Structure 1
Amino acid sequence: MMKRMKIGVLAFFSAGLMLTSCNNAALEEKVADLEQRVAELESNNPASASKTASLTKQISQPENNAPQGDAPAFEFEESSYDFGSITEGDVVEHVFKFTNTGEAPLVIQSASASCGCTVPSYPREPVAPGESGEIQVKFNSANKPGVQNKTVSITANTNPTITRLTIKSNVMPKGEQAAGPVRK
């Protein structure tokens, strides 16, 4: 009973830290550390570990969204992009290009970012087999000095149902010179 309370408390604080992680990369590291601790606590109890594995599988691949038969498939030209050094306050964007290499139309249900400072946009209509599409990701570096790593999770009728893209940058405080790729 006490172990379950500890896991619940850690999960609660982990969720709280995730909500505030926009403001500090160090908090993101703390969230990862807490998640690891929760996993360690759960691994001490085989019954709890199997329940967690079962729940994780259900969450990451919901039965209603899991494709059957000839499924669509993402093939991205790249799954990660580094903006290099940018100046605090810059709004930068990158387009992730993909092709549906599956045998059925690809339907994206949602695209969400790990932080409100990152905004993805995606095609709302199905992408036919062999056709291409784009996921545009904008990052607003206002009040985000330091190294930033952000994740965009795409939920689609693919297998697995969730695909992740990442962006990163080194945000230089205003007044310092940034060196990196040309910003749009």
Structure 2
Amino acid sequence: MKKVVLGLAALCMIAFTSCKEDASKKIDENNVAEAAERDANASKFPIMSFDKQVHDFGEIESKTNVETVFKYTNTGEAPLVVTDIKSTCGCTVPKDWSKEPLQPGDSGQFTVKFNGSGRNKVNKTITVTANTKTGKETVKITAFVKPDPNAVQPAKAQVPQVK
């Protein structure tokens, strides 16, 4: 059995070492140049620079629709692609952003609509999913929501007085 294993090992060694073609001759210089360029560009990312990180609507009445526009510029070294924009709840709706890539130096914008729900100080975060280094960028909106003056106020319970 040892002779069979030894014979197979010797046969395999001869088969693997008898390659007649030099592997370095198979390398295509065009492929090497393309790979080097791709690797150099892999470290370049787009950067989203916003005109504002937070928009404060100030005091608004409950159920009042308000909206603002967030503008951004690609200050990075690669094309910027925004794939999605979402908010933390359904009362804040981002819309109207470009699905096309933004070249370095180009600008874009999106609108955020808030329906005035909530009470007192309200903070909402809008998350932008893009091909930046972190993959996500955030902006915020804030407002102080005052009660609706036309809303029916619940009747206050009468506390009986003890005599």
Equivalent positions of 1:107-118 (< 5 A) are 107-118=81-92
Moved over 3 A (4+): none
SS in 2 for 1:148: strand
Task: Report the aligned-residue RMSD.
Answer: 1.5
Amino acid at match of 2:75: T
- Whether 1:137 and 2:135 are equivalent positions in the alignment is no
Q: SS of 1:126's equivalent?
A: coil
Deviation (angstroms), 1:155: 0.7
Structure 1: stretches of 5+ with no match in the other structure = 1-66, 177-184
Q: How many residues align?
A: 109
**Please, which runs of 5 or more residues in structure 2 have no aligned partner?**
1-40, 151-163
Structure 1 residue 88: Cα displacement: 0.7
After TM superposition, the structure 1 = structure 2 runs for residues 26-175 of structure 1, keeping only pairs within 5 Å, are 68-121=42-95, 122-142=97-117, 144-175=118-149
Partner Cα separation in structure 2 for residue 95 and residue 68 of structure 1: 32
Q: How far off its partner does 1:128 sit? A: 1.3
Shift of 1:136: 1.1
| Partner SS state of residue 106, structure 1 | coil
TM-score (norm 2): 0.64
Percent identity for Structure 1 against Structure 2: 42
Higher helix share: 1
Per-residue deviation, residues 90-134 of structure 1 (Å, max 9, x unmatched): 111111111000111100111110010000122111111100000
Deviation digits for residues 57-108 of structure 1, max 9, x if unmatched? xxxxxxxxxx932111101111111100001111111111110001111001
